[in-house]
Amino acid sequence: MKIRKVGVLGCGLMGSGITQVCAEAGYETVVLEVEQRFLDKGFASIEKNLSRAVEKGKITQEAKAKTWSLIKGTLNIEDLKDCDLIIEAVVEDLKVKNEMFSRLDSLCPEHTILASNTSSLTIMAMAASTKRQDRFCGLHFFNPVPVMKLVEVVRTIATSQQTIDTCFEFCKSIGKEPILAKDNSGFIVNLLLVPYLLDAIRALEQGVASIEDIDKGMVLGCNHPMGPLTLLDFVGLDTTYNIANIMFEEYREKRYAPPPLLKKMVLAGYYGRKSGRGFYDYSGEKPVPVDLGI
Ligand code: CAA
Ligand code: NAD
């Protein structure tokens, strides 16, 4: 099956990146948000990325203009009804996701593939809210989407081989490297990454070392591009808190349980980079570790 038009649900951290890479690859792309200000924020991030690429001589002004001509923002779900593939990237909340999937299931033609970018929910928990379980799969992108090559293509017990083949081809066409994963909570990468990130918070809680030194340890000791606490701020502490709760609920294993410090930070509105404060304060020129009273 040929994908011509792509729909994206949510224009946040992930949805804006997915919108950008689809349009850059030549797909007409419609992105849905709940309020105009969220579309504006996502579009500002796409504009920043494309302008930087022009400045660096990686793309031409014409290519940038072509990309923008393929992107349409909307607040009306009906504008997605003629999409061949719809990638959901809204908040990590099953109820919110399923409300959208069941609306789209009745709006879209039969051939439309529905996919979720969830970090931790099982795909079957969403496919079950539709009557197209064979045309439903996971397409798990990584942050920042324009830079990270990987997409986990997630197959449920009901996903058809044709859907998987179409999604593999689609991922390659937007310059990504797809891998196949089974539909277990966290797929491959988050199954391993999430306990590591939560352990870094536990290490901080237990006073093993300072925020800076925990990060420095993993950057200089293991050559990671970012330390775990910087990465948590990058992913979003609100999103991580939802992911940890979902994975803990699924596996009932302590290593997925959200540490109390994470909960307190989310309650305080410390969401990481997106809110200007998490383990680091981003209001100045350089990030500064926050005093969390530990
Ligand atoms: N959006 C778009 N592009 C970005 C970007 C962003 N937020 N941040 C950096 N870039 C681009 C830069 O423009 C630059 O591009 P060029 O090479 O074309 O010039 C390139 O990335 C490198 O950027 P920098 O030199 O400024 O910075 P860096 O070398 O430190 O790299 C990074 C930045 C790519 C983010 C790197 O620090 C990194 O790889 N960090 C780890 C990211 C990671 O682990 N992601 C996975 C998160 S988990 C997840 O996504 C799954 C989940 O479900 C939660
Ligand atoms: P985010 O908070 O940055 O963006 C979510 C966006 O969804 C917001 O802009 C919000 O306004 C919008 N939204 C909420 N309800 C909506 C609705 N009913 N219709 C349309 N838009 C709606 O979150 P994010 O980090 O982009 O995460 C989105 C999804 O991607 C989550 O499922 C998350 O687990 C997953 N994910 C996140 C990362 C990451 O590093 N942050 C990486 C991979 C996957």
Give the model's confidence band at 288: pLDDT under 50 very low, under 70 low, under 90 confident, else very high: very high
Residue 294 has pLDDT above 90, yes or no: no
- Of 47, 141, 147, 190, which is best to mutate to test ligand 1, by the most ligand atoms within 8 angstroms of its C-beta? 147
Residue 115: phi, psi to the nearest 5? Answer: -135, 150
Q: What is the pLDDT of residues 97-118, one digit of tens each?
A: 999 999 999 999 999 999 999 9
Residues serving a catalytic function are 119, 140, 152, 190
Question: Roughly how many angstroms between the first and final C-alpha of the chain, as a whole number?
Answer: 55
239 lines ligand 2 (CB under 6 A): yes
Query: DSSP string of 70-113?
Result: HEEEES-GGGGTT-SEEEE-S-S-HHHHHHHHHHHHHHS-TT-E
Q: What is the pLDDT of residues 152-171, one digit of tens each?
A: 999 999 999 999 999 999 99
**Collapsed DSSP state (helix, strand, coil) of residue 246:** helix
Compute the average pLDDT of residues 183-207. 98
pLDDT on residue 182: 97
Q: How close is the Cα of 273 to the center of ligand 1, in Å?
A: 13
**Collapsed DSSP state (helix, strand, coil) of residue 23:** helix
Q: For residue 16, which ligand has an atom nearest its CA? A: 2
CA distances from 251 to 125, 222, 243, 245 (A): 15, 28, 12, 10
pLDDT on residue 62: 98
pLDDT on residue 165: 98
Q: How close is the Cα of 147 to the center of ligand 1, in Å?
A: 6
Mean pLDDT of the chain: 98
117 lines ligand 2 (CB under 6 A): yes
Compute the average pLDDT of residues 165-187. 98
Residue 17 has pLDDT above 90, yes or no: yes
Give the model's confidence band at 130: pLDDT under 50 very low, under 70 low, under 90 confident, else very high: very high
Q: What is the pLDDT of residues 258-286, one digit of tens each?
A: 999 999 999 999 999 999 999 999 999 99
Question: CB of 142 within 8 A of CB of 189?
Answer: yes
Separation between Cα atoms, residue 278 and residue 272, nearest integer Å: 4
Q: What is the pLDDT of residues 30-85, one digit of tens each?
A: 999 999 999 999 999 999 999 999 999 999 999 999 999 999 999 999 999 999 99
Compute the average pLDDT of residues 202-227. 98
- For the full predicted model, state whether its pTM sits above 0.85: yes
Q: How close is the Cα of 207 to the center of ligand 2, in Å?
A: 32
Domains of the chain: 5-182 (3.40.50.720), 191-289 (1.10.1040.10)
Which residues have CB under 8 Å from 89's CB, separation 6+? 8, 9, 10, 12, 14, 15, 18, 117, 141
